[in-house]
Amino acid sequence: MKILVLPGDGIGGEITAATVVALEAAAGRFGLELDLVHDVVGHESHRQHGTTVRPELLEIARQADGLILGPTASLDFRDEGKGEINPSKFFRKGLDLFANIRPSRTYDGLPGKVGTFDLVVVRENTEGFYADRNMEMGNGEILVTPDVAISLRRITRACCLRIARAACELAMQRGRRVTAVHKANVLKVCDGMFLDACREVVAEYPDITLDYVIVDAMMAHVVRDPRRFDVIVTTNMFGDILSDLTAELSGSLGLGGSLNAGAEHAMAQAAHGSAPDIAGQDIANPFSLVLSAALLLSWHGRRAGKQSYVAAGAAIEAAVGTVIASGQATRDVGGRLGTRATAEALAASLRAG
């Protein structure tokens, strides 16, 4: 499996190095053939090449079996004319990674804020209320006058259908329950189209139960009783916000794995930001990117019919639970170790089986 590895900014280098340690341990245990190709994006790429992401990286990613993207300082990248391109957007659009899969679960040894749960948010990833994602040319935000701004939201039937199908396929592997999160009481046309697409697709899966929750009410429900949810499907911005909440409810945003998947390509990506304030201090929690890489291995294994990769992904997830329960993790999740030591503990757990 050839994987393009891009550490990003801030803590990206540290947590990417930890992820590589975990991948190499998993590869040794399960006999995986991993070819890790390292390159740069973000500020380091801008220093070297005058752009935060080089155009040729897209073809390199297309030729690989997967991509690992560390957190980048996207807030710093404001002017694409000056080479300040959001790497996440670049790959999500360029590879058509339409489904952002974000599992959240609680772990033994880490007290849950709202009790135990295990759910996954399936977020549409390529359109919606994202100014850099919903126009063929130009930006979806318009400054009409110095005091009037307009943001456009694009919702298409095709994208709604395929994200609903991705949620149903995942639900068939889990509890066979799908919750569509929306704001159709106000956004009657756009979210009405989304809900119609969910109903149409779920009708093809008679074993799946579909229910609907308005997004603001969902924030209350998921805090009150997250165990009632299994697979949650929603549009881009709602899913972005909701998945950060569910990850934090599990114990830390640093436990939120994230896989951006399309029909042909997939990208593992930490759910959190680049945290420049703690960069270089060996205290960053690497688990979000580690768990994202585990999702990438499993995605590749299912797609290529290679069970060893699926097993390796599951083993990495189990090892994360083991080291958290034993306190061999970073301080934010109840441990006492630094980033590098946490990675070594994770690798030891993987080798021990």
Contacts of 141 (CB under 8 A, 6+ apart): 131, 149, 150, 151, 152
CA 178/CA 323 separation, integer angstroms: 31
Structure confidence by residue, pLDDT tens digits, 208-249: 999 999 999 999 999 999 999 999 999 999 999 999 999 999
Out of 9-23, 80-94, 168-182, which region has the weakest mean confidence (pLDDT)? 80-94
Which of helix, strand or coil describes residue 32?
A: coil
DSSP reduced 3-state for 265: coil
Q: 64-116, pLDDT tens digit by residue?
A: 999 999 999 988 998 888 999 999 999 999 999 999 999 999 999 887 789 89
Q: What is the pLDDT of residue 23?
A: 98
User: CA–CA separation, 94 vs 347, rounded Å?
Assistant: 33
What's the confidence (pLDDT) of residue 112? 75
CATH topology of domain 1-97+263-353: Isopropylmalate Dehydrogenase (3.40.718)
Average pLDDT over residues 5-15: 97
Which DSSP state fits 122? E
In the chain, the amino acid numbered 158 is: A
Q: Which two tokens stand for residue 219?
A: 């924030």
Residue whose C-alpha is closest to residue 261's, from 116, 67, 76, 112: 67
Q: What is the pTM of this model?
A: 0.94
Per-domain residue ranges of the chain: 1-97+263-353
Write out the E strands in 125-281.
141-145, 148-151, 177-182, 209-214, 231-234, 259-261, 266-269
